């Protein structure tokens, strides 16, 4: 590993082959200064990031590539969406999408390592692929990045250049939880006993569930990501202190980042581990909580497309749904409001036309109620969805559609 300044890095980046693929720490772990240096001297390149946030380079010559679309790439005409379960994306990075450059956002060096901090995810696989294919690995060391353990630790000999630059980390301020989300969250919480293992997706419903779990005991966390809700569970003693908190990326408040620093309670693992359905299935009472845009009468969910355009992607929901269903005592919850206020339409539909993200869930939960799906015939699933999850205004049309569909 060679320590360099910005001007030295510019010379390194300027000598790269034409049109490189650069993979950058995504979510809230983007190394802003390092990416800006790269963008300033490389006229054309493919930018691969997961859940990219606003503020990334956006100009002709920069082509976006991702398996999970964030606000920074959503709606771009230069976006190339890669359909993939998150657990399988490292395989693509190894075999089909090998990066020419990997830009990391790390902690300051500690002994002979740095830490990937709040964003591990696909980065270990990207580092391995780049080194195997003759690519370049560059790290921006930041005093504000917490030092986390597990697969977050990267040895100096895995990094070509280290650039030191201090910048504040992005923080996540959750939106106020709506009455509908509170309603859904309370319904789910009633079905999650002490001793369960939680996977928490992104959004107000998982936040609402966590709010209602503070009176539980010996909860465990095995999830691809978490935010301040897990810290709150730790504060009130709801978590099993003998079991490490396992995740692959994190975003939240500065208080959360401070708590993470040098905290051996938290084990950051690479995506191939956190999202491996066989490892998820081994967790006690694995409980998967995810959100959908639509669910149809066959218990198929669309969580990734809006008006035939990609909105997000599969993410980790598919991995955790399967893992939870295989876990002894496990449950998979798919959540959504029953009604779309802007379009004045039902979110429970006869048949999804946008593209199916997942299917076969334990429960579909709306503010109207809980529809039990797993273990029922397709006719019983449809009846439960109409009777317990659908909005009252949608039920007559859904019953008519179910009849035509032979349900």
The tokens of 314 are what? 């599969």
- The neighbouring-strand residues paired with 340 are 345
C-alpha distance from residue 131 to each of 70, 74, 102, 114, 379 (Å): 27, 30, 10, 17, 53
- The neighbouring-strand residues paired with 239 are 219
Residue 135 backbone phi and psi in degrees, to 5: -85, -175
Is 224 assigned a catalytic role?
yes
What letter would DSSP give residue 178? P
> Going along 238-283, which residue ranges are E strands?
245-247, 249-250, 266-268
End-to-end Cα separation, the chain, in angstroms: 63
Contact 295, 321 (CB under 8 A): no
Cα(287)–Cα(136) distance, integer angstroms: 39
Angle between helices 32-41 and 6-14 (to 10 degrees): 50
Cα(119)–Cα(107) distance, integer angstroms: 11
Upper half-sphere CA count for residue 395 (Cβ side, 13 Å): 12
Out of 224, 234, 272, 367, pick the active-site residue: 224
Residues known to be catalytic: 224
């Amino acid at each position: 590993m060679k320590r360099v300044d910005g001007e030295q890095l510019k010379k390194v980046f300027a000598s790269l082959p034409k049109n490189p693929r650069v993979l950058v720490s995504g979510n809230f772990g983007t190394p802003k200064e390092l990416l800006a240096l790269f963008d300033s001297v490389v006229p054309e390149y493919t930018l691969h990031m997961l859940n990219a946030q606003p503020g990334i380079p956006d100009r002709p010559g920069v082509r976006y590539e991702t398996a999970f679309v964030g606000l920074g790439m959503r709606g771009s005409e230069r976006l190339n969406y890669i359909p993939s379960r998150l657990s399988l994306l490292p395989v693509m990075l190894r075999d089909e999408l090998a990066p020419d450059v990997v830009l990391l956002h790390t902690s300051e060096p500690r002994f002979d390592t740095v830490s990937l901090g709040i964003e591990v995810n696909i980065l270990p696989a990207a580092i391995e692929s780049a080194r195997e294919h003759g690519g370049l690995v560059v790290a921006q060391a930041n005093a504000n990045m917490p030092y986390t353990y597990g697969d977050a630790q990267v040895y100096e000999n895995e990094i070509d250049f280290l650039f030191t630059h201090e910048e504040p980390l992005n923080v996540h301020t959750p939106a106020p939880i709506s009455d509908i989300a509170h309603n859904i969250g309370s319904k789910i919480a009633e079905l999650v006993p002490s001793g369960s293992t939680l996977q928490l997706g992104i959004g107000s419903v998982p936040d609402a569930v966590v709010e209602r779990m503070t009176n539980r005991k010996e909860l465990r966390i095995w999830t691809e990501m978490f935010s301040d809700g897990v810290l709150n569970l730790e504060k009130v003693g709801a978590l099993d202190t003998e079991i490490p908190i396992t995740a692959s990326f994190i975003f939240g408040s500065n208080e959360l980042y401070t708590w993470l620093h040098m905290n051996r309670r938290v084990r950051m693992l690479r995506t191939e581990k956190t999202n491996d359905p066989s490892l998820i299935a081994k967790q006690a009472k694995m409980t998967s909580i995810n959100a959908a845009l639509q669910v149809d009468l066959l218990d198929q969910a669309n969580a990734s497309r809006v008006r035939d355009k990609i909105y997000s992607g599969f993410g980790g929901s598919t991995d955790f749904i399967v893992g939870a269903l295989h876990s002894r005592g496990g449950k998979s919850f798919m959540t959504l409001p029953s009604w779309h206020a802007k379009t004045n339409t039902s979110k429970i539909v006869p048949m999804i036309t946008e593209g199916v993200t997942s299917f076969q869930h334990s429960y579909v939960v709306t503010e109207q109620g809980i529809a039990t799906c797993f273990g029922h015939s397709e006719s019983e699933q449809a009846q439960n969805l109409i009777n317990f999850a659908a909005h009252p205004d949608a039920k007559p049309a859904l019953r008519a559609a179910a009849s035509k569909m032979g349900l």
